[in-house]
Structure formats: structure tokens, C-alpha cells
């Protein structure tokens, strides 16, 4: 985090404080994507993160005369965004604290995936891209879901310290609290995250692009999905695989039970329909957009987005979301 504004930034700030909307836009727009990622981590919702960025810019414009230049304009925006998120979280019903070993994805009904195209926009929009803003381990669904189990201020502390890499003093300034309070909150937050993140997490933090073996696995997953091949799907899944479908609270554990639930839901039944798959990426994870053509229909329509976690050559986790609300963000067609 830049401790002081640059000379160029100072000139734009002076103009913005005087009411120059173009100067203000030149200051805030380069930070739009990273602030949206920040709000997404705080809230776990793509839709809410978009709204909160707009709220951040509105608050910043209204308070532009309060920026004194003691820190960078970016740091000032982060403070406003964080407080806007904390205000939003006060209005949201609290998620119950999960018991040790519970699966956070199943505990967070508002969870939404975040398209990789928007993550790429962070680096593209930054004069000095900061890798930690979009680090894979801190944007995957498992992390986003687990962090939602933290009290809001612990969440903000963990993000500022362990994701953005800010010092304890900078984090204390961000939240208008003491360094001692920040350190205490961080210790508690880390302990909770350790309880709820998946096992061997460091081992499955792969590169952003899938390996040839993973691409083959994804191809076989799509083929098995389209062909309703239950046997092939069981073989692709790890024996203790997990499947969740936010916002539904149900969770299915085990390859056989997952596939059995799908079959009971109609998968493979000609009357239910036939699936076609499109590969995409969210949260720096592979995802499969599933379209269904119902009996008597001539087109494939959006059904589900399966976000996949691959571990040791097997599918370890499937998180399925409703596809239609995500089509625009993912750049996917309304029908095939």
C-alpha cells in the first residue's frame, strides 16, 4: 500500500476536491476492479460487491473534501469500501457459526461465484498490479465461504493483513481501532479459518491454468454429464467428494451418493431433458456451465454452473449454482 499520494495524484485530488467530476473519475476508476474483489471477499456475493463499489464511490464523492493526503487515495478508498461493507453486513442476517469441520459452502446461502474475467481486470487496470489482490488461494470458493463465518470486523482484519498484506498499524487505521485489537482479531480469525478450510489446502493450490491431466478430467466430466453416464461420473469423483448447491442447505458426501441424488433429480431421464456443457472459469477454478433441453423443446436453456475443485487427479468438490443469474457476468449465451 503506497503510504503517500504521488504528485500526479495530488493534482487530481485537488481538482476533485474542488468538484471536478472528471478528475474524481480518473482517481477512482483504476481501482474499481480491485475494490469489487475486496467487497466480494467481505460479502461473498457478486451482486452485492457490484452495489458496494457504487456505494463506495458515492461516499467518496460526498466526502472528497475530507481526504487529507496522509495516505494514498487507494488506501482511503479501501477504508470507505470496508466501512460500506461493514454497514451492509449489519443489515444482513448473521450466518450461524459453523461447528468444527463443517463445510462452509453449505453454511453460506448467499454465496456466489466470481468470474475470472473480472479478476483479470484487476491487474489490467492497475499501474502497479498487486498480485495478492487476486491470489488464487484467497479467491477460491473454499476461502470465500470460510471467511463468511468470521464476525465482520475479524473478516476485515484478516483481509487487510493476510490478503492485502497491510501492516497492523495500517489495518488499525483502516478500521479506526488499536494495533492490539487488530492483532487479537487476526489471531482469532486465523484459528477459525484453519478449522474450516479444506484439508491439504496448500497441496491443491494449483496454477491458474489447468494441467493437461486436469483438462482431460474436465473433458471427461463434461462428456459424462452430457451422456448421463452415472458409472463414468462415479469414477471421476473422489470417494469422499462433496457436492453442495447454494442456497439450498443440502450437501451430499461420497461419489455414489452424489450421483444417486442427481439421478433421483431426473439426470439421465429423457423426459427430464438432455444436457450440454460449456467450460468456463470462476474464482480461479474450472467451472462447467450446464444447459438443458427439455422434452419437446428445441433449444438448450441455462440450468446450473458446476464449480469444480480437483485434487490429486480426482474431482474433490462440486459447488452448483443457478446459471441464469450469472450469464451476463460470465459472458455466456442465454441459449444454445
- The predicted-structure confidence for 197-241, as pLDDT tens digits, reads as follows 866 554 444 445 667 888 999 999 999 999 999 999 999 999 999
Q: Which residue has the higher pLDDT, 15 or 8?
A: 15
pLDDT at 208: 52
The per-residue pLDDT of the chain, averaged, comes to: 87
Q: Are 84 and 53 contacting, i.e. CB atoms less than 8 angstroms apart? A: no
pTM of the complete model: 0.88
Q: What pLDDT was estimated at residue 301?
A: 97
Topology, domain 204-330: Nuclear Transport Factor 2; Chain: A, (3.10.450)
Query: What's the CA gap between 48 and 40, in Å, rounded?
Result: 7
Encode pLDDT of 93-147 as tens digits.
Answer: 665 554 454 556 666 888 999 999 998 867 544 444 455 566 667 899 989 999 9
User: Mean pLDDT across the stretch 243-252?
Assistant: 90
What pLDDT shows up at residue 13?
84
Return the domain boundaries, the chain: 7-198, 204-330
Residue 172: what pLDDT?
95
The tens digit of pLDDT for each residue in 287-313 reads: 999 999 998 899 999 999 999 999 888
Place of cell 481526504: 67
Once rounded to an integer, what is the mean pLDDT over residues 310-318?
89
- Which CATH number applies to 7-198: 1.20.140.160, 2.10.25.10, 3.40.50.720, 3.10.180.10? 1.20.140.160
Higher pLDDT, 96 or 63: 63
Helices 21-28 + 7-17 axis angle, to 10? 140
Residue 108 is predicted with a pLDDT of: 81
Mean local confidence (pLDDT), 186-203: 77
Same topology, domains 7-198 and 204-330? Answer is no
Is the pLDDT higher at 250 or at 302? Answer: 302
Mean pLDDT, residues 275-290: 96
Predicted confidence (pLDDT) at residue 78 exceeds the cutoff of 80: yes
Mean pLDDT to the nearest integer, 233-261:
94
* Per-residue pLDDT tens digits for 24-42: 999 999 999 999 999 999 9
**What local confidence, expressed as pLDDT, does residue 202 receive?**
43
Amino acid at each position: 500500500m503506497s503510504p503517500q499520494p504521488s504528485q500526479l495524484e495530488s493534482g487530481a485530488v485537488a481538482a476533485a476536491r474542488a468538484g471536478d467530476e472528471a478528475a474524481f473519475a480518473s482517481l477512482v476508476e483504476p481501482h474499481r476492479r480491485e475494490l469489487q474483489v475486496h467487497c466480494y471477499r467481505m460479502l461473498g456475493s457478486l451482486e452485492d460487491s457490484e452495489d458496494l463499489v457504487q456505494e463506495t464511490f458515492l461516499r467518496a464523492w460526498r466526502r472528497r473534501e475530507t481526504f487529507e493526503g496522509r495516505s494514498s487515495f487507494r488506501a482511503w478508498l479501501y477504508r470507505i469500501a470496508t466501512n460500506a461493507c461493514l454497514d451492509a453486513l449489519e443489515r444482513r442476517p448473521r450466518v450461524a457459526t459453523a461447528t468444527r469441520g463443517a463445510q462452509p459452502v453449505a453454511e453460506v446461502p448467499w454465496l456466489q461465484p466470481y468470474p475470472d474475467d473480472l479478476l483479470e481486470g484487476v491487474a489490467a487496470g492497475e499501474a502497479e498490479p498487486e498480485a495478492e489482490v487476486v491470489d488464487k488461494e484467497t479467491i477460491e470458493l473454499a476461502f470465500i465461504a470460510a471467511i463468511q463465518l468470521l464476525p465482520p470486523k475479524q473478516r476485515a482484519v484478516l483481509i487487510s493483513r493476510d490478503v492485502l498484506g497491510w501492516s497492523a498499524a495500517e489495518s488499525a487505521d483502516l478500521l479506526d481501532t488499536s494495533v492490539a485489537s487488530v492483532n487479537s482479531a487476526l489471531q482469532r480469525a486465523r484459528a477459525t479459518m484453519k478449522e474450516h478450510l479444506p484439508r491439504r489446502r496448500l497441496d491443491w493450490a494449483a496454477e491458474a491454468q489447468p494441467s493437461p491431466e486436469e483438462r482431460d478430467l474436465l473433458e471427461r466430466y463434461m462428456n459424462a454429464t452430457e451422456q448421463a453416464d452415472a458409472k463414468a461420473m462415479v469414477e471421476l469423483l473422489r470417494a469422499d467428494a462433496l457436492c453442495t448447491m447454494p442456497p439450498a442447505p443440502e450437501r451430499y458426501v461420497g461419489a455414489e451418493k452424489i450421483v444417486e441424488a442427481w439421478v433421483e433429480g431426473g439426470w439421465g431421464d429423457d423426459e427430464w431433458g438432455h444436457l450440454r456443457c460449456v467450460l468456463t472459469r470462476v474464482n480461479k477454478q474450472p467451472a462447467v456451465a450446464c444447459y438443458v433441453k427439455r422434452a419437446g423443446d428445441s433449444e438448450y436453456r441455462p440450468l446450473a454452473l458446476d464449480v469444480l475443485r480437483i485434487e490429486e487427479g480426482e474431482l474433490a468438490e462440486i459447488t452448483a449454482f443457478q446459471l441464469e443469474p450469472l450469464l451476463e457476468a460470465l459472458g455466456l449465451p442465454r441459449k444454445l
